[in-house]
């Protein structure tokens, strides 16, 4: 048994993606979404132990709360102070953070983009940005710059990239970057309130850059569409969503994950409007 804990979690795509992986691997496993209230992470982790649940994805608001409840942290989780994946290894609970590896994996798989030696700009400095910044540095990017509305959070986030980290100020030239990633929620509320804001001005981008938006609802944000119309190759957030799960399936089962089946399951679910 596997699953995901969070709140809200009812519309999480994780159980469907997990189920597709288990089926393609021929494993008799199931996955479910468990609603766990804020403050109830300890009881949920006790439940994982008592029920012998083998793998649990962890989403908001529990990613930091589960950290002190586990027996061991993988280096990825230790560094970020958050866990998005628990592996129950015969009663020994290990916390991992697979978001960053998922992002880098999606770049490789979906855009044949290897971050090594490349100049990367991450817009935003929240939890998703932190995992991406750390993973790009691990992938030996030449530079990992962060641009964020709140400067202090950008300053904190670039620490994760060590000497590769830098700040990109409002007004700085974006032309030198090979990769521009939006990790903010700008663009999620498309059509809802007529919000015209964008993570950066698409006119500052050019066709030799890769534009990535980690949002997958909508599948194409206004910013990503604008980048595409300027000739940039683009990736939406489906790849990161699937590849962070790919890493989790690898950890839980020890088998090579069936990526294509997992992508197909996520896309079918998103197309169904869930
Ligand atoms: P997540 O865990 O998904 O990364 P988060 O931790 O809430 O989400 O981080 C959201 C990021 O989007 C933050 O960097 C936030 O900027 P601030 O640090 O200034 O709060 C950024 N963000 C959200 N809405 C924004 C907006 N309207 N304009 C600019 N930045 C925005």
pLDDT tens, position by position, 78-120? 999 999 999 999 999 999 999 999 999 999 999 999 999 999 9
217 carries an active-site annotation:
no
Ligand 1 neighbours (beta carbon < 6 A)? 124-129, 148-150, 153, 183-186, 197
Give the whole-number percent of the chain exceeding pLDDT 70. 97
- Which of 187, 183, 231 has its CA nearest to residue 209? 231
Alpha carbons 187 and 180: distance in angstroms, whole number: 15
Closest C-alpha to ligand 1, atom 29: 149
Q: What is the pLDDT of residue 191?
A: 53
Among 14, 34, 41, 63, the active-site one is: 63
| Residue pair 180/174 in contact by the 8 Å Cβ criterion | yes
Closest C-alpha to ligand 1, atom 31: 184
Closest C-alpha to ligand 1, atom 21: 184
For residue 136, is pLDDT > 70?
Answer: yes
> Which helix (DSSP H) or strand (DSSP E) does residue 143 occupy?
strand 143-147
How many angstroms separate the alpha carbon of residue 126 from the centre of ligand 1? Answer: 6
Alpha carbons 237 and 103: distance in angstroms, whole number: 9
């Amino acid at each position: 048994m596997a699953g995901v804990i969070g709140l809200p979690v009812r519309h999480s795509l994780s159980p469907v993606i997990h189920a597709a992986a288990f089926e393609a691997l021929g494993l008799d496993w199931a996955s479910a979404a468990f609603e766990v209230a804020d403050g109830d992470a300890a009881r949920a982790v006790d439940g994982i132990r008592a029920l012998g649940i083998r793998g649990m994805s962890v989403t908001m608001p529990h990613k930091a709360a589960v950290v002190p409840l586990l027996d061991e942290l993988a280096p990825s989780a230790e560094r970020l102070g958050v866990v998005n994946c628990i592996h129950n290894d015969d009663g020994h609970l290990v916390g991992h953070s697979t978001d960053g590896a998922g992002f880098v994996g999606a770049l490789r798989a979906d855009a044949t983009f290897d971050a090594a030696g490349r100049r990367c700009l991450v817009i935003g400095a929240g939890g998703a940005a932190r995992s991406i910044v750390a993973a790009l540095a691990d992938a030996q990017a030449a530079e990992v710059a962060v641009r964020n509305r709140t400067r202090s959070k950008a300053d904190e986030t670039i620490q994760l990239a060590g000497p590769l980290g830098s700040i990109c100020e409002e007004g700085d030239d974006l032309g030198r970057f090979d990769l521009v990633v939006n990790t903010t929620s700008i663009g999620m509320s498309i059509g809802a309130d007529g919000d015209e804001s964008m993570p950066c001005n698409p006119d500052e981008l050019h066709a030799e850059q890769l534009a990535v938006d980690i949002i997958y609802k909508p599948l194409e944000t206004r910013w990503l569409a604008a980048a595409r119309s300027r000739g940039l190759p683009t990736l939406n957030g489906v790849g990161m969503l699937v590849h962070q799960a790919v890493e989790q399936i690898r950890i839980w089962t020890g088998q090579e994950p069936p990526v294509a089946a997992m992508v197909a399951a996520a896309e079918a679910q998103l197309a169904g409007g869930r």
